[in-house]
Structure 1
Amino acid sequence: MHYSIIINPRAGNGDAKQVWQTIKSHLDGANICYDYQLTKENGDAEYFSRRVSQNRQVQTQTVIVIGGDGTLHDVLNGLIKAAPNSSAQVPLAYIPVGVNNDFAKGYGISLDPLKALQQILNAKQARRINIGHYHDAIKNQDQYFLNNLGIGFDAAIISRANGQSGRRRPLSRFGFFRHALGVLYNQQQSFTLMVQRQGSREFFKKAYIVIIANHPYMSGHLQITPTAKLTESSLDLIVAERKNWLITFWQIWKFTHGKLADSRFATHYRGRDFHCTTTSLEFAQVDGEEVGNQFMDLLISTSSYPFYQQSQD
């Protein structure tokens, strides 16, 4: 097996630099064949992964990402765009060094770098896992995601949390709740959302929480729904409408405790295809990264990608 390693040295507030040195020493000591690239700026991870796919020399090759969920997201998209045909896709593996490490928790990857590496080295074959895909009809762009896609509320929380500190830290449940109330009080307005699925259409006139999830974990500690699994070809869509302050407070409490999907104050869909549109400019996030303020016209579906790594589960 040959490993092509893409490292984001800024991940984990710079912890990835030391992690890479530890991993490198272990690989060299075991005479494992590898090459590596260090990212320096935004876009590098996707660019490097495209090059790996386009210049693939051997079939027994795997791309290892050392970084956070954002780096993993970029590498995944680069690999798929370079090789959309599933038979030509280079398998992925992951050593998490991010702030939240949502995908590692959803997949079952150790947060100890050497244990995560051993999960890769012990793997005997790749297995395909479910990933999300969306087509932005306004921009005519396609993107893939591993964790979740959010419109409105959670994107505003991510923006608020990132903007208050130059050093990113995982949010505690209390911290998330505090930011949530701040967003609702100062920023977040409800918006009109249309959801189309299986020939039906539903309008939400005061939507403010819109989450499309591929697995339960979000923001490092939240389990937003217990039903989403990487091993199943489906996604969970959770929509909550803003009511009076008492009900809104209850919704946020349910959200931070992973129980909103089962609440009577939210609508929970499960399926493979959704079409979500808004009539106003809204913020969005994909795999924990902000994607800007825009009208939403998203055709969301499932796909799959090979991962060459054992799970702790």
Structure 2
Amino acid sequence: MATTPGDLVRLIVHGKAAADPELREAVLAARNQGHRLEVRVTWEQGDAARFTHEAVAEGAATVIAGGGDGTLNEVAGAILAHDIEQRPVLGLVPLGTANDFAHGAGIPLAPLPALRLALAGPIATVDAGRVNERIFVNMATGGFGTQLTVDTPSEQKELLGGFAYLLTGLRRFTSITADYGKVVGPGFNWEGDFLVLAVGNGSQAGGGHLLCPQARLDNGLLDLRILAGEELLPTLLERLIDGEEAESVVSARVPWLTLETPHPVHLNLDGEPLAGTHFRIEALPGALRFRLPGYCPLLDRAVG
């Protein structure tokens, strides 16, 4: 059901994207159509969550994240901090560098059609993921992929987009080392060296790499894929990021899992880092109501 003229809609925009002329035109067009659309612009870490909490307190029907995967993560995490009956519908106007979730979900990348979808598109009930006490919407990754995100300069990301991660990866082929971990879930037990570990609610991360190509947002499960071994071969990495299966790729689909490592490792939750040695990663079935395309490839069930 589309928002009505009386419904309060809060658009929370990442500060770097606030001057985008296409976004400004899209907001003006929505207001001219009668939408009660208010904009908040972030300045520092934590603003998106704070603005989301304010929107919930004021009875907003829809909260729209205007930014990349990190902005979506912060907004969704704040929504999930509220009781389910208080949670507004979530929308996304992708304004980041890689926009992995938007690409995977089929959300338009241009501000005008993306905002139209966020205001009037069909509502799907979707899962979220949680790592310890932290939320992710798209994917949690560890190992090689996480290090790429940390090591790729922000200026390079802005200039080259997802290709910047590939350049960083090529430069690091001689210095990558494996992490050791034990992964346990229902009917699943694996222990060994891993170069890449991906737990997907969505399908792609790291600038367009299909790490979990079969993941779905509405099945109550998470897709696990591990690139096992000590030696990082370009052809093997290419198979993983293209979503192919290989002997060294371990796969499972589980509602939850634990990861234990002897030394601290970093996980990347929608672009946001989390360090530790013990992680419980679990699906939160039906946690969010999200405006998504009716043809969304990340849904088992059509919406509309």
Q: TM-score, length-normalised on structure 1?
A: 0.84
Secondary structure at the counterpart of residue 279 of structure 1 = strand
Structure 1 pair 180–78 and aligned structure 2 pair: CA distance change class (3 A)? same
- 106-115 vs 67-76, which moves further: 106-115
Cα distance in 2 between the residues matched to 1:115 and 1:257: 28
1:139 alignment partner in structure 2:
none
Quick check: 1:271 aligned with 2:254?
A: yes
- 43-52 vs 250-259, which moves further: 250-259
2:265 alignment partner in structure 1:
282
The answer (yes or no) to whether the contact 1:210–1:237 under 8 Å persists in 2 is: yes
Q: Of 20, 24, 28, which residue of structure 2 is paired with 1:21?
A: 24
Q: Of 190, 196, 199, which residue of structure 2 is paired with 1:209?
A: 196
Structure 1 pair 26–312 and aligned structure 2 pair: CA distance change class (3 A)? farther
Flag as ranges the 4+ runs of structure 1 deviating above 6 A: none
**1:82-97 matched pairs, under 5 angstroms:** 83=82, 85-97=83-95
1:151 alignment partner in structure 2:
142
**1:161-240 matched pairs, under 5 angstroms:** 161-162=152-153, 165=156, 167=158, 169-172=160-163, 176-186=165-175, 188-198=176-186, 200-204=188-192, 206-240=193-227
Q: How many pairs does the alignment contain?
A: 288
1:138 alignment partner in structure 2:
none
Deviations 1:241-299 (A, max 9, x none): 23446xx333212123222xx111111111111011111122221112334xx333111
Quick check: 1:299 aligned with 2:287?
A: no
Q: Which amino acid is the alignment partner of residue 94 of structure 2?
A: P
Ranges in structure 2 where 5+ consecutive residues have no aligned partner: 1-6, 297-304
Secondary structure at the counterpart of residue 19 of structure 1 = helix
1:54 alignment partner in structure 2:
57
- 70-79 vs 281-290, which moves further: 281-290
2:128 alignment partner in structure 1:
131
Secondary structure at the counterpart of residue 185 of structure 1 = coil
Secondary structure at the counterpart of residue 305 of structure 1 = strand
Q: Which amino acid is the alignment partner of residue 252 of structure 1?
A: L
By how many angstroms is 1:168 displaced?
5.3
CA RMSD of aligned residues (A): 2.2
Cα distance in 1 between the residues matched to 2:75 and 2:47: 9
Q: Of 224, 228, 242, which residue of structure 2 is paired with 1:257?
A: 242
Quick check: 1:8 aligned with 2:14?
A: yes
Q: Which amino acid is the alignment partner of residue 216 of structure 1?
A: S
Quick check: 1:35 aligned with 2:38?
A: yes
Structure 1 pair 309–190 and aligned structure 2 pair: CA distance change class (3 A)? closer
The answer (yes or no) to whether the contact 2:178–2:230 under 8 Å persists in 1 is: no
Q: Which amino acid is the alignment partner of residue 157 of structure 1?
A: L
Structure 1 pair 110–192 and aligned structure 2 pair: CA distance change class (3 A)? same
Q: TM-score, length-normalised on structure 2?
A: 0.86
Cα distance in 1 between the residues matched to 2:154 and 2:64: 30
The answer (yes or no) to whether the contact 2:188–2:252 under 8 Å persists in 1 is: no
Ranges in structure 1 where 5+ consecutive residues have no aligned partner: 136-141
By how many angstroms is 1:100 displaced?
1.0
Cα distance in 2 between the residues matched to 1:273 and 1:155: 20
2:3 alignment partner in structure 1:
none
By how many angstroms is 1:235 displaced?
1.0
